[in-house]
């Protein structure tokens, strides 16, 4: 399905932007009636000289909203007598500047992406049309943020489940525009460069060829995308989704690729949800090209859960948290078989 949506940009009471994405043009004229103080800028990034990684310190985030009751949810539409972050009485998809941005006052930026106005639902239950709209929203915001001065990499993601650390249960995700290249991306770029120098081949192409040849870890596919458990999976349940045709980022995806992703991604989320008779917390993380390395990248998504078994979570303890050396209690091929059977 080709994208059909309209965007309306408005201002919140403290000057932050809010963007309404609708399946057809609608008047979005509601005013934010709250008395909000200007956003305070208390963020700064510091380079760890030992690891070469950038650390962001954002002390103002200590006061962000934490596990409010449903009737106080700041991501639900505004109603008479209670104004929220979204002034309108209803919406389809909304993106607004995060009041508690990790990069307030600096060259980076943080968005909040609300997938639906319905509070008690999940991304997996959105339906194909809404999921496809969200892909377009990710693409629109990625294109805008990548073009900004000082932005090195754009990261779209969703944290789902209180066990993951979600502090607002309303279905939503976030977008970070980093003023630096993230450690994961740096490592991938180094590996890709080394692989090309040593073999003369492309690392991403070889990884996908290996997964296609060894079908044991493939969970599901369609004409445009491949979903598999990586051979070196570090999380108990982890799937990577790769487009069959190479692109650098979400804006590069054509309509067929966006359609194919929405369909396969919903399928993966539903498989995760069907694994156990309890909630499956997850992180969905887009790996987009750093702004200065587009030709060396292949867009992909990581979808993973910290739940390793019913009633058991994977905690990042000494080896993982201190040394970054992961120890996984599950077998990638066995996990892929579980996911193939889960529906």
Rounded Cα distance, 189 and 330, in Å: 27
Asked whether 244 and 102 are in contact (CB, 8 A), the reply is: no
Quick one: CA dihedral 144, 149, 152, 158, positive or negative?
negative
| Nearest to 288, CA basis, from 209, 208, 188 | 188
Long-range contacts of 120-128 (CB under 8 A, 24+ apart): 120/70, 121/171, 122/160, 122/171, 122/269, 122/273, 123/158, 123/160, 123/171, 123/266, 123/269, 123/284, 124/266, 124/269, 124/270, 124/272, 124/273, 126/171, 126/266, 128/262, 128/263, 128/266
Is 119 annotated as belonging to a binding site?
Answer: yes
Q: Which of 109, 160, 172, 293 is catalytic?
A: 172
273-292 CB burial, b ≥16 within 10 A, e <16: bebbeeebbbbbbbbbbbbe
Report the alpha-carbon angle 194-200-202, nearest 5.
Answer: 70
Rounded Cα distance, 335 and 219, in Å: 9
44 carries an active-site annotation: no
Residues whose CB falls within 8 Å of the CB of residue 254, separated by 6 or more in sequence, listed in order:
none
Asked whether 173 and 115 are in contact (CB, 8 A), the reply is: yes
Is 156 annotated as belonging to a binding site?
Answer: no
198: buried, middle or exposed (CB in 10 Å: 19+, 13-18, 0-12)? exposed
Rounded Cα distance, 228 and 311, in Å: 25
- 94: tokens are 């909304």
Strand intervals (E) in 161-299: 172-178, 218-221, 225-228, 237-243, 282-287
- Annotated binding residues for Zn(2+), written as ranges, equal 73, 76, 119, 170
Residues belonging to the active site: 172
């Amino acid at each position: 399905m080709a994208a059909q949506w309209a965007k309306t940009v408005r201002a919140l009471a403290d000057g932050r932007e809010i963007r309404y994405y609708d399946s057809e043009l609608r008047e979005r004229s509601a005013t934010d009636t709250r008395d909000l103080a200007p956003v305070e800028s208390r963020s700064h990034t510091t380079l760890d000289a030992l690891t070469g990684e950038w650390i962001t310190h954002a002390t103002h985030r200590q006061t962000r909203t934490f596990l409010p009751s449903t009737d106080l949810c700041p991501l639900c539409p505004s109603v008479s007598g209670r104004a929220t972050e979204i002034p309108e009485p209803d919406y389809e998809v909304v993106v607004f500047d995060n009041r508690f941005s990790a990069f307030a006052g600096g060259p980076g930026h943080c968005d909040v992406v609300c997938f639906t106005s319905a509070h008690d639902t999940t991304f997996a239950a959105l339906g194909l049309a809404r999921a496809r709209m969200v892909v377009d929203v990710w693409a629109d915001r990625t294109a805008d943020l990548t073009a900004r001065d000082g932005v090195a990499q754009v990261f779209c993601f969703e944290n789902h489940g209180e066990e993951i650390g979600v502090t607002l249960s309303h279905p939503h995700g976030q977008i970070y525009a980093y003023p630096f290249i993230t450690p994961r991306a740096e490592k991938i770029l180094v590996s890709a460069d080394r692989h090309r120098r040593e073999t003369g081949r492309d690392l991403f192409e070889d990884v996908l060829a290996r997964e296609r040849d060894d079908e044991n870890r493939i969970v599901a596919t369609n004409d445009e995308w491949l979903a598999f458990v990586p051979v070196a999976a570090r999380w108990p349940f982890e799937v990577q989704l790769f487009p069959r045709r190479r692109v650098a980022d979400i804006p590069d995806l054509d309509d067929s690729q966006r359609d194919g992703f929405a369909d396969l991604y919903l399928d993966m989320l539903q498989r995760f949800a069907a694994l156990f008779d309890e909630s499956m917390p997850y992180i969905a993380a887009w790996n987009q090209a750093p702004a200065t390395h587009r030709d060396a990248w292949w867009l992909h998504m990581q979808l993973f859960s910290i739940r390793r078994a019913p009633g058991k979570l994977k905690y990042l303890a000494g080896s993982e948290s201190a040394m970054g050396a992961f120890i996984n209690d599950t077998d990638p091929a066995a996990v892929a078989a579980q996911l193939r059977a889960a529906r």
